[in-house]
Structure 1
Amino acid sequence: MKELVDATGLTDADGQPLYFLPHDLRRIFATEAILNGMPPHIAQLLLGHKHIATTMGYKAVYPQEAINGHRAFIARRRALRPSEEYRTPTDAEWEEFLGHFERRKVALGECGRAYGTSCQHEHSCIRCPVLRVDPAQRGRLEQICDNLTLRITEADREGWIGEAEGLRVSLAAAKGKLAQLDHRDRQSTTVFLNVPKFPEIAGHIVTLAESARAGSFPS
């Protein structure tokens, strides 16, 4: 690089020959990339910087230049996507969107199904894997387990084999929800391990007389 710069005859503002270090190429790359529309956070990843301030310090890029570059990047990305994704939703669509979250609220907690999807378990929430039980409803869930147990006993007594089979599936799902609550409680509980104690280990000082009687001396 020194030979190439010497051959060009380039000088700095003071008339001194220019000298480049390999690290200067990173600064040149960052400057050109950001000024030509690359978002600063993308340049940060490419350069491996921990903080974006380091990337911005590689060149005196004015904040407005960085903002304009980022906006240009977003505009190019949006041009590649369907235009209907960026239209203003109608009042009916907005009400439908808000209503989805209202319908996710159930007695035992909240349903986690995705927006725009219907209930695939015919509103049998106790069996649904995306039901997230509210810890405050643990008592209600325990009552459901007790009720299912009684209904299974009745179905077995009356010979309702199909009914009993379905109830057992619901009971297993309910117990699974209780196990999930127990697991979450254990994760949120801090266990104090305390400092271990060894009372059975006692210090003993061996005297010279004791060693002599034992036939050995301490080293």
Structure 2
Amino acid sequence: MNYKAVYPQEAINGHRAFIARRRDLRPSEEYRTPTDQEWQEFLGHFEHRKVALGTCGRSYATACIHEHSCLRCPLLRPEPTQRPRLLEVRDNLINRIEEARREGWLGEVEGLQISLAGARHKLAQLDQIANRHSTIDLGMPSRTQP
């Protein structure tokens, strides 16, 4: 076994050398300045990330593989302000499942149950977000006499 002391400058130089080697392996045209059209397309991607229930987290230049069924998509980050709407969607799904069962539409029941599970998951996400950002009153400290 060997022991090696690593100093900050040595780590920085090693990282810079690694980046330089990686860049040498990539095509040089990837490091050019983007055209105005390319830049506008890139910025436009972020405008398309905003959806009714929140923000879609899919990567730039990737299509929505979930066919915009955001309720089922793990990449949707719901907005806390959309909680009432999400509750409406959940309640509507419950009613539609009951109707589908009554009518014998078993395939419809299955798909609606997947969406209902997604709605419940998004509501749980909102609960986690709310709990993370809640404030706790610690009270006013009092001074004790020695």
1:191 and 2:136 are equivalent in the alignment: yes
2:79 aligns with: 134
1:109 aligns with: 54
SS at match of 1:110: strand
| CA distances 1:18-38 after superposition (whole Å, capped 9, x unpaired) | xxxxxxxxxxxx9xxxxxxxx
**TM-score, normalization by structure 2:** 0.77
Q: Tell which structure's C-alpha radius of gyration is larger.
A: 1
1:95 and 2:61 are equivalent in the alignment: no
SS at match of 2:29: helix
Q: Which amino acid aligns with 1:117?
A: T
For 1:141 and 1:177, the matched residues in 2 are separated by: 8
Per-residue deviation, 1:137: 0.6
2:123 pairs with one of 171, 178, 191:
178
Runs of 4+ in 1 over 6 A off after TM superposition: none
SS at match of 2:77: strand
| CA distances 1:115-153 after superposition (whole Å, capped 9, x unpaired) | 111101111000000100000111110110011111111
SS at match of 1:189: coil
1:159 pairs with one of 80, 104, 118:
104
| Number of aligned residue pairs | 128
1:57 aligns with: none
With a CA cutoff of 8 Å and minimum separation of 6, indicate the structure with the bigger relative contact order: 2
Q: Alpha carbon RMSD of aligned pairs, Å?
A: 2.5
Per-residue deviation, 1:82: 2.5
**TM-score, normalization by structure 1:** 0.53
For 2:138 and 2:66, the matched residues in 1 are separated by: 44
| CA distances 1:75-104 after superposition (whole Å, capped 9, x unpaired) | x92862431122121232122111111111
Q: Which amino acid aligns with 1:90?
A: T
2:20 aligns with: 77
1:169 pairs with one of 101, 105, 114:
114
1:43 and 2:15 are equivalent in the alignment: no
Identity %: 60
Give the gaps of 5 or more residues in structure 2. 1-6, 140-146
For 1:124 and 1:107, the matched residues in 2 are separated by: 11
For 1:133 and 1:110, the matched residues in 2 are separated by: 6
Per-residue deviation, 1:45: 4.9
For 2:114 and 2:91, the matched residues in 1 are separated by: 14
Give the gaps of 5 or more residues in structure 1. 1-29, 31-41, 47-72, 195-219
